[in-house]
Chain A
Amino acid sequence: MAMTRTETKARAGLDAETLRLMYRHMLRSRLLDERLWVLNRQGRAPFWISAEGHEAVQVAFGMNLRPQYDWVAPYYRDLALTLVLGMTPKDHILSVLQRADDPNSGGRQMPAHYGCRRLNIISTGSSVGTQLIHACGIALASRMRGEDAVTFTSIGEGGTSEGDFHEALNFAATHKLAVIFLVENNGFAISVPWQKQMPTQDVADRAKGYGIPGVIVDGCDAIACYRVAREAVKRARRGDGPTLIEAKVLRLTSHSSDDDQRRYRTSEELESDKERDSLLRFKATLEELGVLTAADADEMRAELVIELNEATEEAEAAPLPAADTAMLHVYAEPGDWRG
């Protein structure tokens, strides 16, 4: 039985519109992700690296940041985040198919190396951890101009072993920068489990050493993620400094299309993860709260599949880059961004 608006808000802390939108964003990312796996398995895309299982916390942050004003230094699992901020399924299919019009890199980088000038999503490479420091520099520049822009940056728990993780947190905390550090902890760095990565289970504990808040959130609980994201963004925006957030997420797929996690994880574990999937859980919660019926969900999915089919078709029809363009943009070309 459907609850009243007040009841829903009292229970979830969020209104029905926000909850439905959040679910739609999560589903949109998942459907795109599944499509990209299909393109890979069909031999039409050489590589994919997935966000499946990470969507809830990414959507939560995406919905609380101000696109085009706030800054984002993402890592390779942030598909859902980029979509909430304004990138499109077509953008990412163009990238997976290495097309010239891929806005991330014009087909120069592997997929999931996100970047979009228009949305203040900085270009990311494959070195793990460097982006955390870029986020500090970005926040420093915003502050020098007197802006209250927030800089969001993210990494997996494996990346927290890199020296750049420490250097970035130390600097952001020392200078009280408006940076949000999100660790998307799925328990595995390719095949290496967290127990071989770090001596303690919670990355968030390390915040104490920098004198900043460290928050753990269940990355399968979309509503909890939303609340944590909202608070961290507010805190950064009002000038109270950085927050380290650790979302305990699931890696529902292998590390990448070149990996097979059945070689190092048990089938029991993989099955149990599927049952904990944030999408299933969130859908059940929304049905229970009366903000989404099964029919609503089906309709939403049908709309998103249409968008996805069109995007796939258009991306496949788009041209590959001409070989001689490989020589461009080593240094600034006329028309390039020049700072």
Chain B
Amino acid sequence: MRNRVTGVAEKTYIEAIRDGIREEMQRDDRVMILGEDVGAKGGVFGVTEGLQKEFGEARVLDSPLAESLIVGVAIGAAMNGLRPIAEIQFQDFIMPAVDQIISEAAKMRYRSNGDWGVPMVLRSPFGGGVHGALYHSQSIEAIFAHIPGLRVVVPSTPYDAKGMIISALRDPDPVMYFEHKRCYRAIKGEVPDGEYTVPLDRARVVREGTDIAVFSYGMMVHSSLEAVDRLAADGFSCEVVDLRSLRPIDREAIVASASKCGKVLIVQEANLAVSVASEVAAIISEECFDSLDAPVMRLGGPEIPAMPFSPPLEQFYLVTPNKVEAKLRELAAY
């Protein structure tokens, strides 16, 4: 890992992603961005703000409204020497591009026996709580975490957001880089100026503890921390692990924290059936059976198609610090 850090500043999550992209574009002229509204507007959330002005229309390309095209062009460009970032405006709209992602990007290296690969980054915001309703709130990362050949990462802090976008742009294989949209402006943190990387396959212990291990990723790491703080006041010590990478998933880190604490809660915003939480629970049941003091518990969205619009319905869906706290107390009392 190269670290050429010159200073540290407090930044938002969205600024950190932009800084990482901008610096990498300055260092590497193979890096380009394409997506809907990424140019003059700077994306609907502003992640790419100012980049077209700095790097020109060829390197920050406003694509037609066609997701299969965005990803397919990125694949072709990557195979011919570029390092493209394909931005999909909302994770909900990846669906038309799933053939390109799963049938093409994920299988290119394998099906060519190593002769070809797709060094591409697909960036997309996900998650709810922003009045986005059914089609601007989903968390469908598990679909891609299921697929060998893809990397799937979800940074939760500005530090990781910058370090992981740089790592993603240097990785030889396709990386799905998902950004929880509530992190964009709500989450701030220290971000070093200049060049540093964060590995794409390692979880991180955010808070050390001994009684309950909480596994989470994205915005849910912050909801979990808030709940854990409330329990700490009552003398419960929880360990919080930010998974960061959903494929490959850091089995070692999961096993270490689960074995150490003996009680486990997995928190995600997506609904639970056949999800990332299912995988983490399965790993723990395979590897930590003798260390467990309670059943592995999971907390996630309800089994309904997606997040509804009206506030009471949206709140019903969301995994809030209160819901995490209630689940932790249930587990503590077991």
Check if A and B associate. yes
Task: Find B72's partner among A103, A108, A130, A336 (CB 8 Å cutoff).
Answer: A130
Decide yes or no whether A115 CB sits under 8 A from chain B.
Answer: yes
B315 vs chain A, min Cβ distance (A): 37
With contacts A138-B79, A164-B72, A170-B66 taken as known, whether A338 is within 8 angstroms of B117 at the C-beta atoms is yes
Q: Contact between A330 and B69 (Cβ–Cβ < 8 Å)?
A: no
Q: Contact between A123 and B115 (Cβ–Cβ < 8 Å)?
A: yes
With contacts A140-B73, A145-B81, A329-B114 taken as known, whether A127 is within 8 angstroms of B109 at the C-beta atoms is no
B324 vs chain A, min Cβ distance (A): 34
Decide yes or no whether A322 CB sits under 8 A from chain B.
Answer: no
Q: Contact between B117 and A330 (Cβ–Cβ < 8 Å)?
A: no
Interface residues of B in 95-112 (CB under 8 A from A): 96, 99-100, 103-104, 107-112
Decide yes or no whether A206 CB sits under 8 A from chain B.
Answer: no
With contacts A134-B104, A337-B117 taken as known, whether A117 is within 8 angstroms of B66 at the C-beta atoms is no
With contacts A133-B68, A329-B114 taken as known, whether A171 is within 8 angstroms of B99 at the C-beta atoms is no
Closest to A321 in B: B113
Which of the four size classes fits the interface of chain A? Answer: 35 or more
Interface residues of B in 56-80 (CB under 8 A from A): 58-59, 63-64, 66, 68-69, 72-80
Task: Find A164's partner among B59, B68, B78 (CB 8 Å cutoff).
Answer: B68
Which A residues lie within 8 Å of B151 (CB)?
331
Interface code B39-59, partner A: CB below 8 Å = 1, 0 otherwise? 000000000000000000011
Decide yes or no whether A328 CB sits under 8 A from chain B.
Answer: yes
With contacts A71-B80, A171-B64, A336-B117 taken as known, whether A134 is within 8 angstroms of B75 at the C-beta atoms is yes
Interface residues of A in 70-119 (CB under 8 A from B): 71, 73, 103-106, 108-109, 113, 115-117
Decide yes or no whether B83 CB sits under 8 A from chain A.
Answer: yes
Task: Find B69's partner among A133, A145, A332, A338 (CB 8 Å cutoff).
Answer: A133
Task: Find B114's partner among A126, A127, A163, A337 (CB 8 Å cutoff).
Answer: A337
Q: Contact between A125 and B104 (Cβ–Cβ < 8 Å)?
A: yes
Q: Contact between B112 and A117 (Cβ–Cβ < 8 Å)?
A: yes
Which A residues lie within 8 Å of B173 (CB)?
331-332
Task: Find A133's partner among B76, B83, B115 (CB 8 Å cutoff).
Answer: B76
Which A residues lie within 8 Å of B109 (CB)?
329-332, 336
Decide yes or no whether A141 CB sits under 8 A from chain B.
Answer: yes
Which B residues lie within 8 Å of A144 (CB)?
32, 58-59, 82
Task: Find B73's partner among A106, A136, A145, A336 (CB 8 Å cutoff).
Answer: A136
Closest to A103 in B: B115
Q: A174 to B172: give the CA distance in the assembly, Å.
A: 30
Q: Contact between A134 and B96 (Cβ–Cβ < 8 Å)?
A: no
Q: Contact between B117 and A127 (Cβ–Cβ < 8 Å)?
A: no
Q: Contact between A105 and B111 (Cβ–Cβ < 8 Å)?
A: yes
Task: Find B172's partner among A71, A135, A140, A339 (CB 8 Å cutoff).
Answer: A339
Decide yes or no whether A335 CB sits under 8 A from chain B.
Answer: yes
Which A residues lie within 8 Å of B99 (CB)?
127, 130
Q: A136 to B73: give the CA distance in the assembly, Å.
A: 6
Task: Find A167's partner among B68, B104, B116 (CB 8 Å cutoff).
Answer: B68
Task: Find A137's partner among B75, B107, B149 (CB 8 Å cutoff).
Answer: B75
Decide yes or no whether A286 CB sits under 8 A from chain B.
Answer: no
Q: A3 to B173: give the CA distance in the assembly, Å.
A: 57
Which B residues lie within 8 Å of A142 (CB)?
80
Decide yes or no whether A275 CB sits under 8 A from chain B.
Answer: no
A123, A141, A337, A339 pick with most chain B CB within 10 angstroms: A339
Q: A331 to B68: give the CA distance in the assembly, Å.
A: 23
Decide yes or no whether A228 CB sits under 8 A from chain B.
Answer: no
Which B residues lie within 8 Å of A113 (CB)?
111
Interface code B253-295, partner A: CB below 8 Å = 1, 0 otherwise? 0000000000000000000000000000000000000000000
Since A105-B111, A134-B76, A142-B80 are in contact, a sample of 11 more A-B pairs with Cβ atoms closer than 8 Å, ordered by chain A residue number, is: A109-B111, A115-B116, A122-B76, A123-B115, A133-B68, A137-B76, A138-B79, A174-B64, A331-B151, A332-B173, A338-B117
- 6 pairs across A/B with beta carbons < 8 Å? A109-B111, A125-B111, A127-B99, A130-B68, A137-B84, A144-B82
- A residues with a Cβ closer than 8 A to B are 71, 73, 103-106, 108-109, 113, 115-117, 122-123, 125-127, 130, 133-142, 144-145, 163-164, 167-168, 170-171, 174, 328-333, 335-339
